[in-house]
Amino acid sequence: MVYRPYMSSVGCPRNAFRAALGLLCFASAGLAAPGGALRAQTHLLGASSTTRVRAVTFAFEDGQVESVETLKGLIATRAPSLRDRLPWPFNRPGDLFLLDPIELQRDVVRLRNHLQAQGFLHAHVDYAASTYDARKDAIRVRFTIRHGPPVIIQDMGFYTVGGYLASAFEGDMRTQWIEFRDRTTFRAGDRLTSFKVVQIEDEVLGWLKNQSYAFATLYTVTSIDSVYNTADIDFLVDPGPPGIIDEVRVEGNRRVHRSLVHRELPFKVGDAFSNRVLLEGQRELFALNLFQVAQVHVPPQVRDSTVTVHVDLREARLRYVTAETGYDQRAGFWGEGRWSHRNFLGGARVLGATAEIQTGLLPTTPTLPHRLARASLALTQPYLLVRKLAAVVEPYVQLERDPLLLNSERSRSINRREYGVNSTLLYGLLTTRAVTLQYNLGRTTAYSSTLTTDLKDTYGKGVLTLGSIWGWTDNLLNPRRGYTVQSSVEHAGGVQRLLGLAGVGLKYSKVSVEASGFMPMTQDLFVGLRIAAGRMWPAHDAFVTLWAHGAPAAFDAQFTAPLENRFDPVRFYVGGNDVRGWSSGHVGPKVNRTKLVTDDTGTPVYDGDLPLTSSARYEPVGGLTRVSAGLELWYRLSGPWRVALFADAGQVSAAETVTPGCTSIAYRDRAQSQPVPVQCGLRDDGRIDWGGMRFGTGAGVRYATPIGFVRVDVAAKINPGPLDLQSPRNAFLTDLGLIEPKRQQLNRLAVHVSIGQAF
């Protein structure tokens, strides 16, 4: 194609912008035809320093090889996206989208160089198809790309002094090298790319350094025939001598003893050198939280069979105090303070004292807010027999107002007191790969008040939990790609018998698993998927016989005191962050805790035609089984801002049923002297009613911070249950036959706020 300059009848451009634009036009391809040249150049010369780029598109004459998002990331010319059409603070500065003809020329060069690096030596790029709208003073830049024939690998090999590199190895090492070479390198007929060449160089050097060749070097010679579009690649490798670690120098430690550093390193003097093991040692040192800087490396030295390894350290403060605060929809404002000593009595032991409080102030949910005060003292012992195994012992005491329990007349409405000790074994592979074994031995007292008496239930608790997390993510707090799988198996009430301890009042088995994954769809669009399931098996009789209305009746033992109170904290709940649109735990059956206000004689107090009520709230029942799933799309706006669309689904196994003559208070005896609180009309056999699945959907905003995302979501219930749109007072008075049911459509919506949670 011939490039022909064309001069319009308006004359030569006079100012700098027009001069640059004139050069742009002269260099533009596709102007050979007089009519076409006139239209294209006239449109471009109509632009000025105020012309905005309205769109940037790409056309491929001989097929598309790379994504448009990748190509847009290479150029400086920008067009406003959806986020830039939104109001502040999402949009970017308007001058970012002004046409710069010099940058447009550079973009052509950038794209051409990139395509050549991808193996297309004769790639052609132009923007002759761009169009200018004089009325809007806007331009649509359209790059036309013709790749041309690719450069094909004709021959390649790895060589060292004296012949092929494979001849430098013997036995198993030669076999391992051949297997590694065959799965790593180019093959004859592949397209040559500079990225692949660099990747092979890095992988080969990495393999050699992990096989004890600490001083391996590699040079690449590429011979390209531009006429026939073929290439021969020779990788010239000098492995050098196999290296043995003869010295490990530790520098920068002042208060941490050198022997502790050597203990954490997975190598010692006399071991064969491996760069992979050096990196593992660096991670182990960072994991101690004793150092601000921990670098394990090989400094410049004589190239022989011995290797000196340097460990450069900079210690962190051994004692420190931290404080955190936040807001939770269920617990209101909360705070936590912690004092820690990172090297208590030496040995990298960590001693930490923690105080936590959940105030229950300003909750946004219609449930009774959760309150908690907890104090604990934890001692962590790293390197327990093996490097990756640590032990934690944590005695604790806590006071709690749990909205799942009955009300209490005690101070601050505290209805549960617990003390005990947590013992944990932690085997950590990586941050997202760990296995824990925990045993919680505690003593719990639940307090509650009924219409007739105050109840006190004290019982022991011993729970053995095996948990694991497995996965990978590119960023723990702001993931773009990766997955995690968390699972746990619990058993309560069995270990005490093996230890010869007194029996406990809480016996069950429980299994749960949750998996989540993240994947980019485009440069700015991401998708996340979450699936969770769990099953619980209580160890008690299915039914108990109680007296109600002067006759014995069978009740589901799960919903009678004291078992109902004991199992409330360990049942499964759905709603909140897993199924948005519902308050925390409120998917599934609910118990209406609304009460009548009475005078001293027990007579209801009226306000007009209706009685007064108190404690108007729903208590979620939970279930022995849970399932939930969520799908979310993120779109990156400006800087740390994201917007999201999501859809959630979930349900628990508990169901409502009609129980004739059921009352909230039954009795253990015919004389009705031993009251037993009962949750009426409920059963739970662990089966999920798939037709009763609840679905929610909505949109939200994300803001990335150093501690994770601040998330604000507005969600709507797609298929609310019978009580989801009714207020507790309205449902209570409806059951009494005093008013008609009133469903408020505004209750279909819910706002969810969280900090630090990616999905």
Domains 16-146 and 244-315 share a fold: yes
Query: In angstroms, how far is the first alpha carbon of the chain from the final one?
Result: 53
- What's the confidence (pLDDT) of residue 14? 39
Question: What is the dotted CATH code of the domain comprising 16-146?
Answer: 3.10.20.310
Nearest Cα to Cα of residue 108 among 67, 70, 144, 55: 144
Supply 616's token pair: 């108007």
- What's the confidence (pLDDT) of residue 33? 36
- What's the confidence (pLDDT) of residue 93? 63
- What's the confidence (pLDDT) of residue 289? 86
Rounded distance between C-alpha atoms, residue 727 and residue 744, angstroms: 8
Top-level class of domain 244-315: alpha beta
Rounded distance between C-alpha atoms, residue 378 and residue 426, angstroms: 14
Rounded distance between C-alpha atoms, residue 59 and residue 145, angstroms: 6
For the entire predicted model, the pTM comes to 0.75
Amino acid at 281: G
Nearest Cα to Cα of residue 587 among 693, 678, 482, 714: 693
118-142 residues labelled b (16+ CB within 10 A) or e (exposed): bbbbebbbbbbbbebeeeeebbbbb
Rounded distance between C-alpha atoms, residue 677 and residue 448, angstroms: 10
Rounded distance between C-alpha atoms, residue 172 and residue 3, angstroms: 60
Three-point CA angle 458, 463, 468, nearest 5°: 150
Under a CB-based contact definition with an 8 Å cutoff, are residues 419 and 383 in contact? no
Non-local CB neighbours of 718 within 8 Å, separated by 6+ positions: 581, 694, 695, 696, 697
Rounded distance between C-alpha atoms, residue 166 and residue 164, angstroms: 5
Distances (CA, A) of 371 to 332, 356, 361, 362, 443: 8, 11, 9, 12, 19
Is the C-alpha dihedral spanning 695, 696, 697, 703 positive or negative? negative
Under a CB-based contact definition with an 8 Å cutoff, are residues 521 and 527 in contact? yes
Non-local CB neighbours of 576 within 8 Å, separated by 6+ positions: 329, 330, 582, 583, 584, 585, 586, 752
Q: Give the start-to-end residue ranges of the domains of the chain.
A: 16-146, 152-238, 244-315
> Which uninterrupted H or E stretch holds 441?
strand 433-449
Three-point CA angle 694, 695, 696, nearest 5°: 130
Run means of pLDDT, 10 residues per run, the chain, 759 residues: 31 44 46 38 64 92 88 90 65 74 93 94 92 89 94 92 89 92 85 91 94 94 92 94 95 90 92 94 88 93 94 92 80 89 90 93 67 95 88 96 79 87 88 89 83 73 93 80 94 77 80 94 89 93 81 83 85 92 90 86 87 87 95 86 94 78 76 80 88 95 84 94 91 89 90 78
Nearest Cα to Cα of residue 442 among 499, 381, 407, 493: 493
- Residue 562: cis peptide before it, omega within 30 degrees of 0: yes
- What's the confidence (pLDDT) of residue 364? 57
- What's the confidence (pLDDT) of residue 574? 95
Nearest Cα to Cα of residue 694 among 650, 660, 638: 650
- What's the confidence (pLDDT) of residue 19? 46
> Which uninterrupted H or E stretch holds 194?
helix 194-210
Neighbours of 370 (CB within 10 A): 22
- What's the confidence (pLDDT) of residue 423? 96
Question: What is the dotted CATH code of the domain comprising 152-238?
Answer: 3.10.20.310
Q: Strands (DSSP E) along 450-589, which ranges?
A: 454-473, 482-492, 508-520, 525-538, 543-548, 551-556
Supply 307's token pair: 């290797």
